[in-house]
Structure 1
Amino acid sequence: MDRLEIDAAELREIDRLLDEAEGELTDLDSDEALQCATVLAHRLPARIRRCLNEFRLERMSGVLCISGYVVDQERLGATPAHWREREGNSRAHREELLLVLYGSLLGDPIGWATQQDGRLVHDVVPIRGHEHEQLGSSSESLLTWHTEDAFHPLRGDFLGFACLRNPYAAATTVGYVDALDLPASVREVLSGERFSIRPDESHLPKNNSQPAEEAFERVEEMQRSPERVAVLFGDPDRPYIRADPYFMGVADREAQAALDELTKSMDELMFDLRLESGDFCFLDNYRVVHGRKPFTPRHDGTDRWLKRINVASDLRKSRAARVGRAIR
């Protein structure tokens, strides 16, 4: 994992930029604000810009954590009990804006019409009743490792988190595909289009309050008839990965054996990443998988609270499937 610790001078520079921008860029779901953020991002401290560019070009590991930002806990107030609680401007607007600025140096932030009502920036908080679900809002069960939105061909290239608070040091888990030591025969099977991946439950109507009917029709079709895909793809010597074992099916016994071998090997490689308040973490969604270890939520306004965005390297790929930055 790579980490950049911002210094006091850089923090002042960031704060000045946020002071200037937060009043104008109030609606981060608007295309106008996102276009402006892309330009403003080039006024971030040079060392941060260089680091994110190195990360974008795969000259670093698949995990980058930028630390040292100070979150005003008093301004933040209580951790919401549900992502739906937000009304009007977010209390964490400065952190959302900084997350978008950082992400804009990697590509273009995107959202999903079928996830958190189409919002670009998501709230990741423990939700009562979701304790044992395979959702980011779960808590007491292991969130198994996966590629973010693995079921979708237009999934983001990068995933970004801003940690607002994590008082009990709940652990995000991360594993590198480059670290896998699989037999050539297993890699060959995993590189064939012999696997299917169903949508995870965050994209289902029951977990959204403003269903976009057409978008959910596509998700339901992916549930009924998922396409066959390869788990490993790209350069055979340094492959990318697309996997979510909890939601996967296979074409035959050989494919199941290969998937089992991959799961076993990746389980042994997963390591803990304990984000702290003020950490901004980016994952390469093609080179790493991630999950989360169980924790016991408090439901008293002090729980773990992350902000999350997806970033695409090429918006042209999703042109026919987007309304603004939301993929249908």
Structure 2
Amino acid sequence: MTDNVLELTEQEAHLSAELAVELSRNYTSPEDPDLIFDLPFLAAKLPERARRFLRDFALGEKHGHCVVRGHRIDTARIGDTPDHWRGRIRPAPEFPEEILLLLYGSVIGEPFGWSTQQDGRLVHDVFPIKGHENEQLGTGSAELLTWHIEDAFHPYRGDYLLLSALRNPDEVATTVGELDLNAIAPEHLDVLFDKRYYIAPDKSHLPKNNSTTGDDEAALRFASIERLIHNRERVAVLYGSRSAPYLRLDPYFMEIPEDDPQARAAFQAIMDVLDRSLRSVSLLEGDVLCVNNHLAVHGRVPFQARYDGSDRWLKRVNVTCDLRKSREMRASAGSRLIGC
């Protein structure tokens, strides 16, 4: 084990797989309210070494990402990589793997979802979809997915992002980068802490990438996104501690006022620093990647999708340390969906 990679033993991998399969028989879906309530109790059954590793990662903030490696994936059970996330039978054959990801999420916080992403599913599918090849989406392929903070536009964005690899035969790399504060000039640092930048929602939150019906309920679901698009407020790229700042940026969906050359120069400076920091993390089958959404940006290299059932297939879960802060945008105190 290194500081940010944990290799499960065969016994730990077996225990985790058996636990997930057993639990999949007791619940109906990742959104099952009983499962959501039980997650912290169930997570106590995970191997202690994995739980301690994730807690140390979350509380210590020594790294922007970590990997838990060696989980068993029953490829015969989960079947081929789907061609779309819409219309799939629920619970899906890979429900045990979804449960395992939710259990990990509950070790470091509270898993949550967006009513404006993948029709409000709590666990998202990440695989190439025909027609999305050149989109800035997790379901894209041919286009470089520009590095970013997940849902940087939103005030209630997650604290962590979990990605698990069900299949990645071509070892398509996820890119991860962290800020070297010493590489930022003091005059740029001051500007980056000022609210001088605009961020728009990414396209995964738009109606065209969900199964909208055009009714009042659908309109309400996307109302908050519309407000963020039309009533833009300036935000800072850096926040928190001046000696160990957090990040908030998504360059592809950001704008800088034309009359603010200082903001533009500072933005280019931090872009260059993060570009130089990027490293490739090729998730192998059974790997789980945890990204600190305050400390690390992430993206994906382009690849050639085959659409034959063998393509890269990940599962994704957002995690927050403070579910209460988003209460105004959740339908009830118990709801895990943000977006009303």
Shorter-normalised TM range:
over 0.9
Contact 2:29/2:90 (CA < 8 Å) preserved in 1? no
SS in structure 1 of the partner of residue 108 of structure 2? coil
What letter matches 2:219 in structure 1? E
Contact 2:12/2:47 (CA < 8 Å) preserved in 1? yes
Alignment of 1:1-328 (within 5 A): 2-178=4-180, 181-210=183-212, 212-251=218-257, 252-323=260-331, 324-328=335-339
SS in structure 1 of the partner of residue 222 of structure 2? helix
Question: Offset at 1:180?
Answer: 6.1
Q: Distance in 2 between matches of 1:26 and 1:65?
A: 28
Question: Offset at 1:20?
Answer: 2.8
User: Over aligned residues, Cα RMSD in angstroms?
Assistant: 1.3
Q: Distance in 1 between matches of 2:34 and 2:182?
A: 42
Question: Offset at 1:60?
Answer: 3.6
- Tell me whether 39-48 or 205-214 shows the greater mean CA deviation: 205-214
Q: Distance in 2 between matches of 1:59 and 1:188?
A: 23
SS in structure 1 of the partner of residue 241 of structure 2? coil
Q: Distance in 2 between matches of 1:142 and 1:11?
A: 33
Question: Offset at 1:213?
Answer: 1.5
Q: Distance in 1 between matches of 2:134 and 2:17?
A: 39
TM-score by length of 2: 0.94
- Tell me whether 253-262 or 198-207 shows the greater mean CA deviation: 253-262
**CA 1:180/1:275 → structure 2, altered by over 3 Å: closer, same or farther?**
farther
Contact 2:20/2:99 (CA < 8 Å) preserved in 1? yes
SS in structure 2 of the partner of residue 83 of structure 1? coil
Q: Distance in 2 between matches of 1:202 and 1:238?
A: 30
SS in structure 2 of the partner of residue 187 of structure 1? helix
Q: Distance in 1 between matches of 2:102 and 2:34?
A: 13
SS in structure 1 of the partner of residue 177 of structure 2? strand
Q: Distance in 1 between matches of 2:205 and 2:177?
A: 24
Question: Offset at 1:59?
Answer: 4.4
Contact 1:178/1:239 (CA < 8 Å) preserved in 2? no
Q: Distance in 2 between matches of 1:41 and 1:286?
A: 24
Q: Deviations over 1:79-121 (max 9, x none)?
A: 0111114122111111100000011001000000000000000
Q: How many residues align?
A: 328
Question: Offset at 1:305?
Answer: 0.3
Which structure 1 segments of 5+ residues have no match?
none
**CA 1:190/1:296 → structure 2, altered by over 3 Å: closer, same or farther?**
same
Question: Offset at 1:38?
Answer: 1.8
Question: Offset at 1:178?
Answer: 4.2
Identity of aligned residues (%): 46
Q: Deviations over 1:180-234 (max 9, x none)?
A: 6110111110100001100000000000003632131221121122211110000
Contact 1:180/1:265 (CA < 8 Å) preserved in 2? no
Q: Deviations over 1:240-298 (max 9, x none)?
A: 00000111112322111111111122111111010011001100000000011100000
SS in structure 2 of the partner of residue 172 of structure 1? strand
Contact 2:175/2:281 (CA < 8 Å) preserved in 1? yes
What letter matches 1:247 in structure 2? F
What letter matches 1:183 in structure 2? A
Contact 2:179/2:277 (CA < 8 Å) preserved in 1? no
Which structure 2 segments of 5+ residues have no match?
none
